[in-house]
Amino acid sequence: MAVSVSTRSAPSNDPAPHNRPISVFWRTVDFTRNAALILGLYFAYAAVRRVTADDWATALSNGRTLLRIQSSLGLPSEASLQHAFFLPNPPIIRAANAFYMWGHFPITGTFMFWVWFKHRAHFGVIRNSIVTLTLSGLFLHIVYPLAPPRFFPSFGFVDTARDFGPNPYDLAAAKAANQIAAMPSLHVGWAVLVAISVIALCRSRWRFLALIHPAVTTSVVVLTANHYWADAIIAVILVLGAWVFTVRLARVGLFSFTSLPRKEDPGPRVASLHSSVGGNTDRS
């Protein structure tokens, strides 16, 4: 018996050619929208936090009170640690000052690009966590103006940026900044958020090395006399609250993903990020 051979080719799994421009279009829209949101948040944050920029009497009083509270709780003195381990090493001081000035935004920005390109279904949760964290930090900056430790030389603190460099105070951005918005440390908050996101998204046994980033950041902000221990502790609490809050919203379908069409979502891996704070997202 002769076997007939069909001239019709097997269906291709590749997307139809006319769908590709749509995918590129939606990716561009999604990227632009998210970039605009984050940049808009930054400029709004920079503008609104200026509300308390001149309330120096309250900020200095809060700083003295906070130092007394930390001492009563038995927290190690930031000034003592600065003198014992930091000030005898000028190269380390300058490296820490440079990290404080220039490491914060590039690391967080690179991380956000990585999530958007490699784990896009989870980008919305992480983006919303950053937004929630930043807004809660802004609220604290407004209601609780706090002068950083470097404004208390009588307590033994040394302003390492001024004395060792690089010096940020001559920059236009520094002149426009609110110098009495120490509580919380968003340097620490964003670093912690980056670390827990990497741990939640990756499966490598080395993923816990991401915790080095918030550990180094906390050491830097404290030893350069830009923040107190309490600023870092409150930042961690706010991160955990923002993470749980946005994951809960995602579980009920609110503000969870990007604006890409549904076919762009990788789907099965979404639950892994959501379950990282406990519970099962499987509703079947």
pLDDT tens-place string over residues 43-59 = 776 676 667 667 899 99
Q: Indicate the average pLDDT of the chain.
A: 80
d(CA 234, CA 217): 15
Half-sphere exposure of 257 (CA within 13 A, CB side): 19
pLDDT tens-place string over residues 219-238 = 999 999 999 999 999 999 99
Contact (CB, 8 A) for 157 and 78: yes
d(CA 153, CA 79): 9
Task: Look at residues 151, 216, 138 and name the one whose alpha carbon lies nearest to residue 183.
Answer: 138
- What b/e string do you get for 174-211 counting C-beta neighbours within 10 Å, with b at 16 or more? eeebbbbbbbbbbbbbbbbbbbbbbbbbeeeeeeeebe
d(CA 185, CA 136): 11
Task: Check whether 275 has a pLDDT greater than 70.
Answer: no
pTM of the model: 0.78
Position 87 confidence tier, pLDDT thresholds 50, 70, 90: very high
- Who contacts 238 (Cβ-Cβ below 8 Å, separation ≥6)? 133, 136, 137, 184, 189
The CB density around residue 80, as the number of other CB atoms within 10 Å, is: 10
Of 22-31, 238-247, 263-272, give the lowest mean pLDDT range: 263-272
What average pLDDT does the segment 276-282 reach?
40
Task: Check whether 105 has a pLDDT greater than 60.
Answer: yes
Q: Name which residue leads in pLDDT, 139 or 3.
A: 139
Given this model, what pLDDT does residue 169 score?
Answer: 72
Position 271 confidence tier, pLDDT thresholds 50, 70, 90: very low
- Who contacts 92 (Cβ-Cβ below 8 Å, separation ≥6)? 86
- Who contacts 192 (Cβ-Cβ below 8 Å, separation ≥6)? 214, 235, 236, 239
Identity of residue 262: R
3-state secondary structure of 181: strand
Task: Check whether 66 has a pLDDT greater than 90.
Answer: yes
Of 68-77, 85-94, 103-112, give the lowest mean pLDDT range: 103-112
Position 171 confidence tier, pLDDT thresholds 50, 70, 90: low
Element (DSSP H or E) covering residue 190: helix 186-201
What average pLDDT does the segment 191-218 reach?
95
How far is C-alpha 88 from the geometric centre of its chain's CA atoms?
31
d(CA 176, CA 169): 10
d(CA 233, CA 16): 52
Task: Check whether 205 has a pLDDT greater than 70.
Answer: yes
The overall longest dimension of the chain from CA atoms, in Å, is 102
